[in-house]
């Protein structure tokens, strides 16, 4: 379903201020290069809802400037494996030799506090989440076409042709499952895409 909700923010915000808003789980996905991370980052700053960023866990090494407990929870492979065995992850996946996962505790705590818990995960992770949270709001952010996505990835000039080809093949698989998402947002302009996603969330906050 492709829905872009254009609403009057002032009216919705007024309603929100006088109502008790139930907590929600929100999942945002999209191919690499579609700009979903930028959309999520700006959404956290500007959308007038009690959004709570769910911090993922990973076994990869911290990059310069990354902070434990803010960017990721950095675990050793042994720690990650133990927590997977204990069922601590809502979803998890190995990518490029490292494990990434969404901690159940992050989601549960945020929802218990009345927050709108926001996950930025891939399509496989989303399908796993929907098995346990079928009422989650799912939003797929994309560039509009595989040709536009390739143009954006090439403009980065950060990857080899082989790496680029792998990303595009992954993107094609993800786009093929786009209809599993409740909403689709085309990110032609980041500011408009943020507004579109926020409007979708605000529509549900009024329900």
User: 115-153: per-residue pLDDT in tens?
Assistant: 999 999 999 999 999 999 999 999 999 998 889 888 888
Within a 10 A sphere around the Cβ of 119, how many other Cβ atoms? 24
How far apart, in Å, are the Cα atoms of 113 and each of 49, 118, 129?
A: 13, 14, 20
Domain locations in the chain as residue ranges: 9-53+116-205
Name the DSSP letter for residue 180. G
Instruction: Give the C-alpha separation, 105 to 85, whole Å.
Output: 15
pTM: 0.85
Name every residue whose Cβ is closer than 8 Å to that of residue 49 and which is 6 or more positions away in sequence: 16, 21, 116, 198, 201, 202, 205
Residue 59 and residue 75 in contact, taking contact as beta carbons nearer than 8 Å:
yes
| Mean confidence (pLDDT) of the chain | 88
User: 29-76: per-residue pLDDT in tens?
Assistant: 999 888 898 999 999 999 999 999 999 999 999 988 999 998 899 999
Residues in the chain: 207
Residue 5 scores a pLDDT above 70? no
Query: In the structure, what pLDDT confidence band is assigned to residue 16 with cuts at 50, 70 and 90?
Result: low
Give Dmax over CA atoms of the chain in angstroms.
Answer: 54
Domain 9-53+116-205 matching CATH 3.40.50.300: the answer reads: yes
Least-confidence region, from 7-21, 68-82, 164-178: 7-21
State the residue for tokens 């254009």.
6
Helix, strand, coil percent values for the chain (each to nearest 5):
45, 20, 35
Mean pLDDT of 95-102: 90
């Amino acid at each position: 379903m492709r829905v872009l909700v254009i609403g009057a923010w002032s009216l919705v915000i007024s309603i929100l201020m006088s109502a008790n808003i139930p907590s929600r789980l929100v999942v945002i996905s999209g191919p690499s290069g579609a700009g979903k991370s930028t959309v999520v980052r700006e959404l956290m700053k500007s959308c007038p809802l009690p959004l709570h960023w769910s911090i993922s866990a990973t076994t990869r090494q911290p990059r310069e400037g990354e902070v434990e407990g803010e960017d990721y929870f950095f675990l050793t492979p042994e720690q990650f494996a133990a927590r997977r065995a204990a069922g601590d992850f809502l979803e998890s996946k190995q990518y490029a030799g490292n494990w990434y996962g969404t901690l159940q505790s992050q989601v549960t705590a945020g929802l218990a506090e009345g927050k709108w818990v926001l996950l930025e995960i891939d399509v496989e992770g989303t399908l796993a989440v929907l098995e346990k949270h079928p009422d989650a709001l799912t939003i797929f952010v994309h560039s509009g076409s595989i040709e536009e996505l390739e143009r954006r990835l090439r403009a980065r000039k950060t990857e080899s042709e082989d790496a680029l080809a792998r990303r595009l093949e992954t993107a094609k698989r993800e786009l093929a499952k786009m209809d599993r998402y409740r909403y689709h947002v085309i990110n032609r302009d980041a500011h408009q895409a943020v507004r579109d996603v926020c409007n979708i969330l605000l529509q549900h906050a009024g329900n």
